[in-house]
Copies of this chain bind each other. A is one copy, B any other.
Amino acid sequence: MSLLNEKFSKIGVDHAPGQEGRQQVGEIRFRGEKLPGKPVDFSHGDVDAFEPIPGSLDEFAAGYKRGGKQAYTEYRGGGSIREDLAAKLAKFTGKSVSADNGLIITPGTQGALFLAMGSTIGRGDKVAIVEPDYFANRKLVQFFDGELVPVRLDYLGSTGRAGLDLTQLEDAFKAGARLFLFSNPNNPAGVIYSPAEIGAIADLAEKYGATVIADELYSRLLYDGRGYTHLCAMNINPDNVITIIGPSKTESLSGYRLGTAFGSPRIIERMEKLQAIVSLRAAGYCQAVLKTWFSEPSGWMEERIMLHQAIRDDLLKILRSVAGLEVRTTEAGSYLFPRIPALAVNIQEFVKVLRLQAGVTVTPGTEFGPHFTDSFRLNFSQDHEAAIQAIERSVKLIERYRK
């Protein structure tokens, strides 16, 4: 079991979003008194502040009433749901999607990511991933016995582009990596890859015959009227691309655990084989709720974007009042990833300080890459006023713990 022990020591969840209640509190020298205020959990969005797409519960009930047909779908998801979804995703991305063999419905985008990586990473395979990027990416590579090849994203030093180090990406391919995984918009940095960057990724993947998994979870929540470039619509072998997206974030359907992956039939087929032994299928009745996705009431998405943008702007203003704090303006999604000035406690300790002294839950930067020891991530899809007050408390604590 020693190989297995090592593996599980790498995929710890103590600092993962949502698990903060299970943390053992070590000895921290607290400074000053607690700061009162409404607790805010920035580790994920607040679906009470931004509610699910209207009518989702009705669609669930309708699915329940359809009975066995809805409870026991094919492992890749119900046929008519896939047809509806394929048409919507084709319209969204500008690339045709095959309902029959190019699409799978999964338990959340986490499920899609797990299946996609389990279907493409063999033991010892080199896998190029971005740093910083979604915290599970590294853990998944480790779980499947792959070898991480990090590629830097200079999100703070770039403008007009996400900041991917394309030389490092090519070096990763030269070194033998045949899989590249990245989130766009980036989680946690909230940046959108430029058309030129996406074009370059497609060209490099073509040149080296690499497979690319594009996690586009946040690609509908775009600010300031920005555009978005889908990798799958570029000049790239469609059998080497998997796109992942789901309605858990912007659309607040997270309680139903729904996601989808589409693209390469070869990989989708493997993903279904894997799903058959992982969890059979996304909950059948929940799948029915996908009917509401990309079919939101007129103006609903526009309003949601506007409200999030307003929160973003208010939080940025407060954060930027801190001397030495750096933060890039979120271009899409609902994350901020500030780099904070040097403190007298380390980032894990400061995250605990925030939670215990200010009722503010954030995720330490180290979840997104080992070097991000001076950053934390916050999801600002929250009650607007509570979020402002929570960030004001956080700023006070940064000052209080400043080195």
Footprint of B on A, CB under 8 Å?
Answer: 1-4, 7-8, 11-13, 16, 18-19, 21-22, 44, 46-48, 51, 57, 60-61, 63-64, 67-68, 70-72, 74-75, 106-108, 110-111, 114, 119-123, 125, 136, 139-140, 143, 145, 178, 254-257, 270, 272-274, 276-286
Contact = CB atoms under 8 A, between A and B. Distances in A.
Number of copies: 2
Contacts of A107: 107, 257, 279-280, 283
B279 A18 contact: no
Contact of A4 (B4, B57, B72, B122): B122
B283 A114 contact: no
Nearest to A69: B48
Given A11-B274, A57-B61, A274-B11, A72 B281 contact: no
Contact of A255 (B1, B273, B285): B285
Nearest to A280: B110
A3 B119 CA distance: 11
Given A121-B4, A280-B108, A74 B272 contact: no
A28 B178 CA distance: 42
Given A11-B273, A16-B276, A278-B110, A254 B71 contact: yes
For A18, A51, A119, which residue has the most chain B Cβ atoms within 10 angstroms?
A18
A99 to B, nearest CB: 13
A57 B19 CA distance: 28
A47 B68 contact: yes
B72 A110 contact: no
Given A71-B47, A277-B136, A284 B257 contact: yes
Given A270-B8, A273-B8, A257 B278 contact: no
A67 B48 contact: yes
A151 B254 CA distance: 42
Contacts of A21: 74
Contacts of A71: 47, 254-255
Contacts of A122: 1-4, 7
Given A48-B68, A111-B279, A256-B283, 19 more contacts: A1-B178, A11-B277, A13-B273, A13-B276, A16-B276, A60-B60, A60-B285, A63-B255, A72-B254, A107-B257, A114-B278, A114-B279, A254-B284, A255-B284, A255-B285, A257-B280, A257-B284, A285-B286, A286-B286
A242 to B, nearest CB: 15
Nearest to A63: B255
20 contacts: A1-B125, A4-B119, A4-B121, A4-B122, A7-B122, A8-B274, A11-B276, A19-B74, A19-B276, A21-B74, A71-B254, A107-B280, A140-B277, A143-B274, A255-B283, A255-B284, A257-B279, A257-B281, A257-B282, A257-B284
A69 to B, nearest CB: 8
A277 B136 CA distance: 6
B75 A19 contact: yes
Nearest to A7: B122
For A273, A276, A277, which residue has the most chain B Cβ atoms within 10 angstroms?
A277
A3 B70 CA distance: 36
Contacts of A255: 63-64, 70-72, 283-285
